[in-house]
Structure 1
Amino acid sequence: MAGPGWAPPRLDGFILTERLGSGTYATVYKAYRKRDTREVVAIKCVSKRSLNQASVENLLTEIEILKTIRHPHIVELKDFQWDSDHIYLIMEFCAGGDLSRFIRMRRILPEKVARVFLQQLACALKFLHDHNISHLDLKPKNILLSAPENPQLKLAEALFGRPPFASRSFAELEEKIRSDRAVELPSRPPLSPECRDLLGQLLERDPGKRISFERFFAHPFVDMEHVPGPESLCKGTNLVVEAVKKDQEGDASAALSLYCKALEYFVPALHYETDARRKEAIRAKVGQYISRAEELKALVTSSNKNLLQQGNPARELLKEMAKDKPRLCTALEMASAAIAKEEEGKDDGDTLELYQQSLGELLLLLAAEPAGRRRELLHTEIQTLMARAEYLKDQIKMREAQSMGKEALAESVRSACTLQ
């Protein structure tokens, strides 16, 4: 709020109240319509005196674009007016403030929260990209949230609470941007491999090597396929039909995989559905599918114990034959460390990353290895490690899907209790 003597501009049909923020050319106020439902809006007041010819053209372009686009994750321009002193943009009010404030208040966001925001932002960017529109000023300050609780993002690094090139001066900022040193990600919070990979590709200094729009939208961390939408329920239902069929045929592994894939659609369907009765029906189905997935997981885990024991004698022989190859020894030790972590019950992303690192090195060494007994053993070891890594990857995905399903169930039950 401003000090004594401050007063907002007057605008016919509206009561302007508190100031929400201000910039070089404009001030934004919270306002109410005087009649009908007393709708709450945000009014951006642009002083005509602050505008030169280029600024006027930019503002008219902004109005033209906003008047023609409608998207759930882009702030809606409802109308615009003007008088002798100001141009007024009457916009959708977002009670949650901006993303910059949201991050400041929480300091660090959990990865799953950042991922939801990123998906919503990606939906908005995809919409703009498809309409040949560039935002050109994408930052947390310019991204609003619909409400303080369960916010929807309205068209941004959120995980760590600070930007990657945070600096105390422009000279320091320029030095960091021009440097060829790799951007180091903070150690907290811990990141999934998919999140770490996306951040690395987004923070690539060379624009030619930086991730493209097309690859960004297709990236597994962005996961546009599972954004809540009207088709989520149908996709999940189709997968359950396949899962039931495989279950009846006695193929527990395939059935489990399909149930977990279905949950990845049913969870967004729960978030998307607003009708209480339909939401309750989805919730009941999700509970059934989670129960059956847990039964199948026990069967699959038991039958895969043999896989975890494969390759031990050959592995020891290969280690003996690799003593004159330090690089091969190191890669095999890395693989052994991954196996040990997995057999200790540490079947997590860190163990999977260890498998993937060892496999990357072993595949390079295989390409350079001459024909012979060592090459045969190395080839067999790589196949075994790949099978274990794929099995571990499936286990992690299944666990995540079941966890998401349980969290969504708990959240929807809490919501239902709150409404009653």
Structure 2
Amino acid sequence: MAGWAPPRLEDFILTDKLGSGTYATVYKAYRKRNTREVVAIKCVSKKSLNKASVENLLTEIEILKTVHHPHILELKDFQWDRDYIFLITEYCAGGDLSHFIRSRRILPEKIVQIFLQQIDFGFAQHMVSQDESQSLRGSPLYMAPEMICSRHYDARVDLWSVGVILYEALFGRAPFASRSFSELEEKIRSARSIELPSRPRVSPECRDLLQRLLERDPDCRISFPDFFNHPFVDLEHMPCAESLQKATSLVAEAVEKDGARDYSAALSLYCRALEYFVPSLHYETDIRRKEAIRSKVRQYISRAEELKVLVSSSNKSLLLEGTSLRELLKEMSQDKPRLFAALDVASAAVAKDEEGMAADALDLYQQSLGELILMLSAEPVGRRRELLHAEIQTLMKRAEFLKEQMKTTDWKNDSLGNEMLSESVRGSCSLQ
């Protein structure tokens, strides 16, 4: 829009410009009859609209009028005059997700997970049908290869866009950052697999989701059901009314096991309870109740830390006792190079574990277990199978313990702070 002055709207005072795009500019505004009510107004210039963009705008209005969801901007009203169409929505003080990422450059994995849980794909069903013409819509940086290549596309392009946003949030840049559209197009059209940076470190679950979202072939890309069921998205633990009830039930079991000196089971139950307690903090709005929950969470984290020491000592003793058996198993596996290599990885995991490098050890444990479990299924009955089964059980116990150890460390260091940080941005994120 030309000039610095915002358009005039009878019932509102338009002030700061929040952002602008090809078709519209968004302003912060106050309702004249109630200056305490703050809204955002999207001003769409009629001159910039062609037939397709008019249809898009009408669809946006139709959808927003019918959708009422805590993670989607509420459309309060829409008006128009000779020059503009005005969409009046709720105001989000934290800005949009793109601004949030840019202002912090890199986001913690836990915060990214919360945003993934809040993305709503309800608009996907409103895409044009297969027999209608399709045009490029949205920012090229987030466009799926099938859009760039002018092939038929469907709602799965949004999954690619989520992958780009996830990559950008974790690593501080888009996977195909380019100086020009032609350079971007060349990178997206390329058949080369997308390599994920080694730093900052991301969990195996997060890495798996990223790789499956950023599949160039939409038929190989993760499906919507698999996305929603993916362990990194983890919708089971997103904040909801039932979070506190589930947490309380699990912690009651943990206290019972703790009293019976079954420390390993108690630690596991405390960790599972904390996976619901932290979301319940995010969901709770009453300040006093929130502080009471926060106090309990600190108490349970403290007890989990104490149990960690007890269980760690027991688990490490088990690993050291199993060293000679592992070496015997390696001697018995000279004729099976793949099994021998997997046992070598297990030995490397134990070495990292002894050095206190929990994250590296966990990665190696998971690599070795993936191979060893496959080897076990093909191993005939006999002494080697017995040893292999015992080795897998030992490694699994240690891997599970390290997962819980890393979770409690995360909770202790930053989860309560992240819970507050994640409240600073709320609203819909336009994927394209």
Give the TM-score band, short-chain normalised.
0.7 to 0.9
- Partner residue of 1:389 out of 391, 396, 407: 396
Instruction: Report deviation, 1:102.
Output: 2.9
Any stretches of 5+ residues in structure 2 without a counterpart? 129-136, 143-164, 422-432
Contact map agreement 1:347 1:392 (CA 8 A) in 2? no
**2:199 partner letter:** R
Q: Which residue of 2 aligns with 1:345?
A: 356
Measure, in 2, the Cα distance between the counterparts of 1:411 and 1:318.
Answer: 45
Instruction: Report deviation, 1:176.
Output: 2.4
Measure, in 2, the Cα distance between the counterparts of 1:412 and 1:164.
Answer: 28
**1:72 partner letter:** P
Contact map agreement 1:359 1:386 (CA 8 A) in 2? no
Instruction: Report deviation, 1:338.
Output: 1.0
Instruction: Report deviation, 1:398.
Output: 4.3
Q: Which residue of 2 aligns with 1:261?
A: 272
Q: Which residue of 2 aligns with 1:274?
A: 285
Q: Which residue of 2 aligns with 1:98?
A: 96
Instruction: Report deviation, 1:139.
Output: 9.2
Which sits farther off after the overlay, 326-335 or 227-236?
326-335
Partner-residue secondary structure (3-state), 1:19: strand
Over residues 112-162 of structure 1, what are the superposed CA-to-partner deviations in whole Å (9 max), with x where a residue is unaligned?
A: 3322322222xx23x556xx4569758999xxxxxxxxxxxxxx3311122
User: 1:234 aligned to 2:266?
Assistant: no
**1:9 partner letter:** P
Closer, same or farther: CA 268–363 of 1 in aligned 2, 3 Å: closer
Partner-residue secondary structure (3-state), 1:39: strand
Q: Which residue of 1 aligns with 2:83?
A: 85
Partner-residue secondary structure (3-state), 2:19: strand
Partner-residue secondary structure (3-state), 2:264: helix
**1:359 partner letter:** L
Q: Which residue of 2 aligns with 1:211?
A: 222
Measure, in 1, the Cα distance between the counterparts of 2:303 and 2:20.
Answer: 55
Measure, in 2, the Cα distance between the counterparts of 1:413 and 1:165.
Answer: 32
- Partner residue of 1:43 out of 41, 44, 53: 41
Measure, in 1, the Cα distance between the counterparts of 2:274 and 2:296.
Answer: 10
TM-score under structure 1 normalisation? 0.82
- Partner residue of 1:333 out of 344, 358, 367: 344
Identity of matched residues, %: 65
Measure, in 1, the Cα distance between the counterparts of 2:13 and 2:307.
Answer: 61
- Partner residue of 2:16 out of 15, 18, 25: 18
Measure, in 1, the Cα distance between the counterparts of 2:300 and 2:171.
Answer: 35
> Map of 1:5-404 to 2, 5 A cutoff?
6-121=4-119, 124-125=120-121, 132-133=125-126, 137=138, 156=165, 157-348=168-359, 350-366=360-376, 371=380, 376-377=383-384, 380-401=387-408, 403-404=410-411
Closer, same or farther: CA 199–386 of 1 in aligned 2, 3 Å: farther
Measure, in 1, the Cα distance between the counterparts of 2:105 and 2:301.
Answer: 34
Closer, same or farther: CA 378–187 of 1 in aligned 2, 3 Å: same
RMSD: 3.0
Contact map agreement 1:47 1:87 (CA 8 A) in 2? yes
Measure, in 1, the Cα distance between the counterparts of 2:192 and 2:389.
Answer: 33
Closer, same or farther: CA 333–405 of 1 in aligned 2, 3 Å: closer
Closer, same or farther: CA 198–13 of 1 in aligned 2, 3 Å: same
Partner-residue secondary structure (3-state), 1:294: helix
**2:10 partner letter:** D
Aligned residues: 389
- Between 1 and 2, higher relative CO (CA 8 Å, sep ≥ 6) is seen in 2
Closer, same or farther: CA 372–298 of 1 in aligned 2, 3 Å: closer
**2:28 partner letter:** K
Q: Which residue of 2 aligns with 1:148?
A: none
Measure, in 2, the Cα distance between the counterparts of 1:230 and 1:402.
Answer: 26
Contact map agreement 1:243 1:255 (CA 8 A) in 2? yes
**1:184 partner letter:** E
Partner-residue secondary structure (3-state), 1:345: coil
Closer, same or farther: CA 178–76 of 1 in aligned 2, 3 Å: same
Any stretches of 5+ residues in structure 1 without a counterpart? 142-155, 415-420
Q: Which residue of 2 aligns with 1:150?
A: none
Instruction: Report deviation, 1:58.
Output: 2.1
Measure, in 2, the Cα distance between the counterparts of 1:218 and 1:290.
Answer: 27
Closer, same or farther: CA 247–398 of 1 in aligned 2, 3 Å: same
Instruction: Report deviation, 1:406.
Output: 6.0
TM-score under structure 2 normalisation? 0.80
Partner-residue secondary structure (3-state), 1:12: coil
